[in-house]
């Protein structure tokens, strides 16, 4: 079975799984692009649990794009204190000012327009465009790459830019209408303990039955290769090496050094 066919098979199961298992997070209460944007930037290099307090405090002080564009740097950095990587905060203000000047105070809805803003790279643009505006674009970071690689039993190195580009193109072809939920489902799945189980048991996937054929082969491969996978889990293959969300492309793009630690 081709990789694209395997990915096509997980669309509905991922959406269903996410609806049943998603966590209640403050930025998920409504599809507010400003809230989603702030949360995505904060989640770079920081765990979800650690972000909560900073997120609430930041939005209480700067509830709108206009407030962010006009805040003085001293106050901004004080609000950001504890999150580190202060250039993220400075870029937030620069982007807010660009939104005020170029987009009349409205966060752009299109992926390509979002990419023009300071501090917003491919992953963040995909997350905002899909979650807030339902644009059918993928949001691919290191965590999503690991889930997708595992789903298709790929041996490609997710640390390589060409692997990210290839899987991004394939995900683009199978994006459902509920693109935001699909992207968040992939991210949420990587944060669960289920992913660790997949390292030694492909059938532990919540949607495994969609991927095995009648002969018990996974995507045209023999699913009994559990032992082989186990031996490889300490190799350089990105599928089996636990890393932070954007380590796979941490030196590229505008999304920052890395994203949320697992």
Q: Which residues are catalytic?
A: 40
Joined together, the tokens standing for residue 110 give 């299109």
What distance in Å separates the CA atoms of residue 198 and residue 196, rounded to the nearest whole number? 5
- Does residue 56 sit in helix, strand or coil? helix
Please give the helix or strand (H or E) that residue 218 lies within, else none: strand 217-218
Query: How many CA atoms lie within 13 Å of 234's alpha carbon, on the beta-carbon side?
Result: 1
Distances (CA, A) of 61 to 75, 99, 205, 226, 241: 10, 19, 42, 51, 39
What distance in Å separates the CA atoms of residue 248 and residue 160, rounded to the nearest whole number? 7
What distance in Å separates the CA atoms of residue 6 and residue 202, rounded to the nearest whole number? 13
């Amino acid at each position: 079975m081709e990789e694209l066919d395997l990915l096509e098979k997980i669309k509905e199961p991922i959406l269903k799984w996410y609806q049943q298992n998603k966590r209640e997070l403050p930025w998920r209460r409504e599809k507010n692009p400003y809230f989603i944007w702030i949360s995505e930037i904060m989640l770079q290099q920081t765990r979800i649990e650690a972000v909560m307090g900073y997120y609430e405090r930041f939005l209480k002080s700067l509830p709108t794009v206009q407030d962010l564009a006009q805040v003085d740097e001293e106050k901004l950095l004080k609000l950001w204190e504890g999150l580190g990587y202060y250039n993220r905060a400075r870029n937030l203000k620069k982007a807010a000012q660009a939104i005020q000047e170029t987009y009349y105070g409205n966060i752009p809805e299109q992926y390509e327009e979002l990419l023009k803003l300071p501090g917003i790279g491919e992953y963040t643009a995909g997350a905002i465009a899909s979650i807030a505006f339902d644009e059918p674009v993928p949001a691919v970071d290191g965590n999503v790459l690991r889930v997708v690689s595992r789903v298709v039993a790929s041996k490609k190195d997710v640390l390589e830019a060409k692997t990210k580009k290839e899987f991004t193109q394939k995900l683009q072809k199978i994006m459902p209408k509920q693109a935001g939920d699909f992207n968040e489902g992939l991210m949420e799945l990587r944060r669960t303990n289920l992913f660790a189980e997949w390292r030694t048991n492909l059938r532990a996937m919540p949607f495994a039955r969609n991927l095995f054929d009648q002969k018990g082969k996974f995507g045209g491969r023999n699913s009994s290769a559990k032992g082989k996978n186990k031996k490889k889990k300490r190799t350089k293959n990105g599928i089996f090496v636990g890393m932070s969300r954007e380590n796979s492309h941490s030196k590229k793009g505008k999304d920052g050094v890395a994203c949320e630690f697992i």
